[in-house]
């Protein structure tokens, strides 16, 4: 592909300014990671609301960009070597944007891998486990009478939150300086409110995470990114 307009997704979600990063997303915990990062880094971009309905994420146009039918995804018209690059998976996008901008990825090579470590912690553990806890608390899983599935995710959520709480005992941000690791982690902590799982996850018993989340949510770029793209009208 030589330009953004050559990508098939452009036929359904056309770019107004093909010279800037195109973000295809919804305001979910995974989706807002990328909009927050773009705001924090000051990178030019435009957004396209892709809802979680099958008519959007399983459409031929979206699948042409992400065959895994999940938001977020991006096209950067100015990728490596000056050629366009399409990416999906929020963690991969965060790392890419950090390297592109030279921001929020640590001050040294050693710092970079500490940041990436915590991004992987969120991608492989925190996000999936809190998401499953939400499913068994708020959505269809809540109708399952067998208590064992929900009990498993309650226990794992508490364990993962305790890991984070301990790490934040002597620092403001999870990898030292504010980074894409915080951008990956904190939206999932905020999601506990949406899922109604703060109490069951023992949020009030944590010493450091509540203040950490407050610090994150106070950032201007975070406040804008959390609403980008705007949620669909009901």
Please list, residue by residue across 165-198, b when 16 or more beta carbons sit within 10 angstroms of its beta carbon and e when fewer do: bebbeeeebbbebbbbbbbbbbbbbbbbeebebe
In this predicted model, what pLDDT tens digit does every residue of 172-230 receive, in sequence order?
Answer: 999 999 999 999 999 999 999 999 999 999 999 999 999 999 999 999 999 999 999 99
Check residue 220 and give its pLDDT.
98
Give the C-alpha separation, 86 to 22, whole Å. 9
Please list, residue by residue across 31-69, b when 16 or more beta carbons sit within 10 angstroms of its beta carbon and e when fewer do: bbbbbbbbbbbeeebbbbbbeeeeebbebebbeebbeeb
Does residue 234 surpass a pLDDT of 60? no
Give the C-alpha separation, 148 to 65, whole Å. 38
Does residue 25 surpass a pLDDT of 80? yes
What share of the chain has pLDDT > 70, as a percent? 99
- Calculate mean pLDDT across residues 114-142: 95
Q: Domains, the chain, ranges and CATH?
A: 4-103 (3.40.30.10), 109-221 (1.20.1050.10)
Check residue 231 and give its pLDDT.
82
Please state the pTM of the whole predicted model: 0.96
Q: Give me the DSSP letters along 79-98.
A: -GGGS-EEEESHHHHHHHHH
Give the C-alpha separation, 149 to 129, whole Å. 11
In this predicted model, what pLDDT tens digit does every residue of 70-98 receive, in sequence order?
Answer: 999 999 999 999 999 999 999 999 999 99
What is the enclosing helix (H) or strand (E) of 23? strand 21-25
């Amino acid at each position: 592909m030589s330009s953004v307009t050559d990508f098939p997704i452009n036929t359904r979600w056309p770019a107004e300014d093909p010279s800037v990063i195109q973000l295809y997303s919804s305001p979910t915990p995974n989706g807002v990671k990328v909009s927050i990062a773009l705001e924090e880094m000051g990178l030019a971009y435009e957004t396209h609301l892709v809802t979680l309905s099958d008519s959007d994420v399983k459409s031929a146009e979206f699948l042409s960009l992400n065959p895994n039918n999940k938001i977020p995804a991006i096209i950067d018209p100015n990728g490596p070597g000056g050629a366009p690059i399409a990416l999906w998976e929020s963690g991969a996008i965060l790392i890419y944007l950090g390297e592109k901008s030279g921001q929020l990825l640590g001050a040294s090579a050693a710092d970079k891998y500490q940041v990436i470590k915590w991004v992987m912690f969120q991608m492989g553990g925190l996000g999936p486990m809190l998401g499953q806890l939400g499913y068994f608390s708020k959505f269809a899983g809540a109708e399952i009478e067998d208590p064992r599935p929900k009990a498993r995710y309650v226990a794992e959520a508490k364990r993962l939150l305790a890991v984070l709480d301990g790490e934040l005992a002597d620092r403001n941000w999870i990898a030292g300086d504010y980074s894409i690791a915080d951008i990956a982690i904190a939206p999932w902590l905020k999601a506990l409110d949406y899922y109604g799982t703060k109490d069951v996850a023992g949020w009030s018993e944590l010493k450091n995470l509540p203040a950490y989340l407050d610090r994150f949510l106070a950032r201007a770029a975070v406040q804008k990114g959390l609403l980008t793209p705007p949620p669909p009208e009901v």
